[in-house]
Amino acid sequence: MDLDQGIDSLSISTLVQLFAEELKSKTGTPWRGCLAVAERIGREVSRICSESQRIQSSGDRTAWAKSIGRHRIDQCLRYYHLGSEQGRIELHSSLSAVVYRHISAGQGQASYQARLSLIEDFLQSFYMESLAAFRRENQLDSLYKPLTLLELAEFMAFSERYGKRRIKLPGQRHQQLIILRAQNFSRQQPPEVAIDIEQATNPTGDGEDNRPGVSTEKVLAEIIAQTQESPEPSLRGEVIAQLLAYLRESKQEDCADYFILRLLDLSTQEIEGLLQINSRERDYLQQRFRYHLARFALSHHWELVHEWLGAGLVHNLGLTSQQWQQLNDQLSQKQVALLRLKKQGIEDAEAIAQLRLTITQFKKYWTNILERAWEIRNFDL
């Protein structure tokens, strides 16, 4: 492929020179090594610019090329500055979090420890696939292995991007490549691949097992971060986002973490393992979460929650006609009047004035109404 295709004003050779100089200034790696990495980045940038219709029609392909190239350099430098060992740990933890909920034993739900073991096996094979893809896409020899810290950083950055590539599926859907690989691994349970990222990049070829392992704290942090970065575009997603915000504003970070893991349908054993708590501590955390969930649902964001449940005022708080009458029978005259005004869409300030209530009384009356409706609605559950 012509490396200059799709890039105007500034030749690819000039871009490579700029990339190499930046790598040299920020790593101290010998010029030859920086130039080799810069040439691979330049080749990838040229390919992206050539294949992207958006970039081709932008009118400023050079700016795109420089921006993409600098982004690749920043990814590489991040792993370079982490160092060989910490870089492996960061990559391993990040990818573990992505595939965690997609890896399970062929029969039944894998236990927490069994799932970690399966993730470990899966990632070893994935690193080998990534190394093969790196060689193929950069037209490298089939025996190529990263030897310097800069080359290893380049490979780790590539592995992260490779795993998170979006693959088009039938029905206009897309999925990350590593998730598709993890799902296939769970279905087929392929033979264990005993070569990991360190062995694949170790020029001495010794057989010592120095796998970075799955860092529980880092897996948890990555899962939480990815959940926050991918809010669901729905009313349910809005409820989740608001509840998480409420928990953090209330200084209930552990409850927020617990809620996120509950959203992932993890077992109690897996939740205890990721949060590093025992069963008694988990029971206490669960009770505290339920307390704050009730406060959130019945006071702070009752309209949002009830709308999501299909139990808004327009639906008589989700009650049948008989249950609605039962609710009214349990309320005081002031509460009945408050409920009627709410049904009519009267603003809270006006309702407070009409009923001659203080703000505190108003909130107390309304919360009590919602609690009673909640109890009636769920009495048979």
Instruction: State pLDDT tens for residues 132-165.
Output: 999 999 999 888 889 899 999 999 999 999 998 8
What CA–CA distance (Å, rounded) separates 105 from 358? Answer: 59
Widest pairwise Cα distance in the chain: 85
φ/ψ of residue 173, rounded to 5: -95, 155
Q: By CB neighbour count within 10 A (0-12 exposed, 13-18 middle, 19+ buried), where does 375 fall?
A: exposed
What CA–CA distance (Å, rounded) separates 87 from 65? Answer: 27
Q: Please name the amino acid found at residue 209.
A: D
Choose between 227 and 174: higher pLDDT.
174
| Residues in CB range of 106: below 8 A, 6 or more apart | 186, 187, 189
Q: Of the ranges 70-74, 251-255, 338-342, which is most confident?
A: 70-74
> 296-326: string of b/e by CB count within 10 Å (b at 16+)?
bbbeebbebbbbbbebbeeebbbbeeebbee
Q: Please name the amino acid found at residue 132.
A: A
> HSE-up of 67 (CA within 13 Å, CB side)?
8
Provide the token pair at 82: 């982490």
Q: Of the ranges 120-134, 146-160, 191-205, 293-307, which is most confident?
A: 146-160
Q: Please name the amino acid found at residue 212.
A: P
pTM score, two decimals?
0.58
> HSE-up of 200 (CA within 13 Å, CB side)?
25
What CA–CA distance (Å, rounded) separates 302 from 295? Answer: 9
- Residue 214 is predicted with a pLDDT of 45
Domain ranges of the chain: 1-82, 83-228, 231-306, 312-377
- Percent of the chain exceeding pLDDT 90 equals 17
What CA–CA distance (Å, rounded) separates 368 from 299? Answer: 10
- Residue 127 is predicted with a pLDDT of 92
Q: By CB neighbour count within 10 A (0-12 exposed, 13-18 middle, 19+ buried), where does 176 fall?
A: middle
**Would you give the distance in Å from CA 28 to the centre of its chain?**
34
- Residue 254 is predicted with a pLDDT of 86
Choose between 313 and 371: higher pLDDT.
371
Query: Position of tokens 């799955």?
Result: 214
Using CA atoms, how far residue 123 sits from 156, 211, 304, in Å, is 13, 10, 41
Choose between 42 and 60: higher pLDDT.
42
- The helix/strand/coil state of 109 is coil
Question: Do 282 and 268 contact (CB within 8 A), yes or no?
Answer: yes
Nearest partner of 300 among 242, 258, 240, 217, judged by Cα: 242
Choose between 207 and 285: higher pLDDT.
285
What CA–CA distance (Å, rounded) separates 311 from 314? Answer: 8
Helices (H), 52-111: 53-56, 61-82, 84-99
| Residues in CB range of 245: below 8 A, 6 or more apart | none
pLDDT digits (tens, 9 = 90+) for 209-249: 444 444 555 555 555 555 555 544 456 667 777 788 888 88
Nearest partner of 148 among 82, 202, 89, judged by Cα: 202
H, E, C per residue of 249-286: HCCCHHHHHHHHHHHCCCCHHHHHHHHCCCHHHHHHHH
- Residue 160 is predicted with a pLDDT of 93
**Would you give the distance in Å from CA 280 to the centre of its chain?**
28
Element (H, E) at 169: strand 166-169
* Ranges 1-5, 19-23, 28-32, 282-286: which has the least confidence: 1-5
What CA–CA distance (Å, rounded) separates 173 from 154? Answer: 30
Using CA atoms, how far residue 48 sits from 44, 55, 69, 265, in Å, is 6, 9, 10, 38
